[in-house]
Amino acid sequence: MISEEVVEKYLKAGSIASRVRREAESLVKPGVSLVELTEAIESRIMELGGQPAFPVNISINDVAAHYTPMPGDQSMIPDSSVVKIDIGVHVDGYIADTATTVTLNPAYEPLLESAEKALESALKVIGNGVPVNYVGKAIEDSIRMRGFKPIRNLTGHSIDRFIIHSGVSIPNYNDYRAKHKLVDGVYAIEPFATNGEGLVKDSPTIAIYSLRGAPRPRDELLKKLWETYKTLPFCLRWLSKTLESIDSAQRALKELTTHGRIHTYPVLVEASGGLVSQYEHTVLINGREVITTTI
Ligand code: MN
Ligand code: MN
C-alpha cells in the first residue's frame, strides 16, 4: 500500500499538472513563441507550489516527443499545426505526468480524438493485477477503430519518487511479450496516434538530458545538477539560467555527453513524417483503488 502522506503529494502534483495543462491549451495560438509558452507553463507550475518534473515538451506535427525550446529559440506555433504539450509536475519528488494535444485545424480533430478516446478506454481497464498488454489492446483498438495507428515504440511507464520511468512499460498496442501485471504504484498512460506508419525514430536534435545516478563527490557541476534534479530530466534553457552563460552551459553539456556521464533524449519524430497526437494521464493504484491524479 502507498501511505496516505505520499498519496496526498501525488494528488497535489496531479491537480497542479491538470490545472496548468488546461491553462496551457488556451495559450496555443499561431505565432506564439515556444519559449514564452514553455516558460509561462513552467512558472505557473512553481507559482502553484510544484516543481517541473522535466522541461515542458512542445512537440509539433510529426515530432512526437522530447522537444523543449532552446534558449533564444525563435520558433513559433505554426498555423494549422498539431501541438502536443507534455507537462510534468513533482511535489517532493512525487510526479504527475500529463499531456494534451491542440490543433487549430478542424481537419485534424479525428486524429486528436482517436488518442483521447484511447486514453479513456485505457483508464477503464486499468486495475490491480491487469496485464499491461490489456491496456495496450484497449489503446490500439480504440485508435484503429478511428482509422489511425498507435505508435508502437512509445509506451506509458511506471513512476517512482524522482524517477520518471521506473522500469515497467505500458505498450500502446496489444504486445503479447508484455506480460507484466499492474500492482500498487503509479503509472503514466500515454497513447500516441498517427496517420503515418506508427513508429518513431531519433532525430539528430537533443534538447533534454538527465543524470544516470549520483555523481562522484569531486565533480562540482554534476553535484550541483544532482542536488537540483536527481535523475529527473533537464535542459539547456534551465542550465543557462544558473551557469554564467548559454555558452558555458552548452560546453558543459557537450562535455558530459561526450564522456557518457549523462543520458540524452533525442527528439523523436514519426518515421514516415505522419502527424502525431498524444494524451496522457497519471494513475495511482493502491489496493483496489485506482485514482487518476491528473483529471
Ligand atoms: Mn509526459
Ligand atoms: Mn510519460
Residues 205-228 pLDDT 10s: 999 999 988 888 788 888 888 999
The residues with which 277 forms a beta bridge, in sequence order, are 193
Residue 48 has pLDDT above 90, yes or no: yes
pLDDT band, very low/low/confident/very high, at 255 (cuts 50, 70, 90): confident
DSSP 8-state symbol, 162: T
153 CA → ligand 1 middle, Å? 15
292 CA → ligand 2 middle, Å? 14
Q: In the chain, what percentage of residues exceed pLDDT 70?
A: 100
C-alpha cell at 251: 560546453
C-alpha cell at 1: 500500500
What is the Cα–Cα distance from 121 to 131, expressed in whole angstroms?
Answer: 15
218 CA → ligand 2 middle, Å? 33
C-alpha cell at 224: 550541483
CA dihedral 159, 162, 165, 167 (to 10 degrees): -80
pTM beyond 0.85: the answer is yes
pLDDT tens digits, 267-293:
999 999 999 999 999 999 999 999 999
C-alpha cell at 94: 512525487
What is the Cα–Cα distance from 111 to 69, expressed in whole angstroms?
Answer: 25
- Identify which ligand lies nearest to the alpha carbon of 66: 1
pLDDT band, very low/low/confident/very high, at 193 (cuts 50, 70, 90): very high
Q: What is the DSSP string of 177-243?
A: T--PBP-SEEEEE--EEESS-S-EEEEEEEEEEEESSPPPTT-HHHHHHHHHHTTS-EEHHHHHHHS
Residue 195 has pLDDT above 80, yes or no: yes
pLDDT band, very low/low/confident/very high, at 86 (cuts 50, 70, 90): very high
List, in order of start, the domains of the chain with CATH numbers. Answer: 4-201+268-290 (3.90.230.10), 207-267 (1.10.10.10)
Residue 121 has pLDDT above 80, yes or no: yes
244 CA → ligand 2 middle, Å? 31
Please write down the HEC assignment for all residues of 243-283. Answer: CCCHHHHHHHHHHHHHCCCEEEEEEEEECCCCCEEECEEEE
Residue 241 has pLDDT above 90, yes or no: no
289 CA → ligand 1 middle, Å? 23
Q: Which residues contact 39 (CB under 8 A, 6 or more apart)?
A: none
| pLDDT score of 290 | 95
Element (H, E) at 167: none
Element (H, E) at 174: none
239 CA → ligand 1 middle, Å? 21
What is the Cα–Cα distance from 110 to 117, expressed in whole angstroms?
Answer: 10
| pLDDT score of 215 | 83
Q: Which residues are catalytic?
A: 86, 97, 157, 165, 190, 280
Q: Shortest CA distance to 27 belongs to which of 41, 16, 46? A: 41
- Identify which ligand lies nearest to the alpha carbon of 166: 2
Strand-strand pairing, 149-150 and 192-194: antiparallel
In the structure, ligand 1 is a single-atom ion and the residues with CB under 5 Å from it are 86, 97, 99, 280
pLDDT band, very low/low/confident/very high, at 22 (cuts 50, 70, 90): very high
Mean pLDDT of the chain: 95
- Identify which ligand lies nearest to the alpha carbon of 99: 1
pLDDT band, very low/low/confident/very high, at 249 (cuts 50, 70, 90): confident
What is the Cα–Cα distance from 68 to 265, expressed in whole angstroms?
Answer: 11
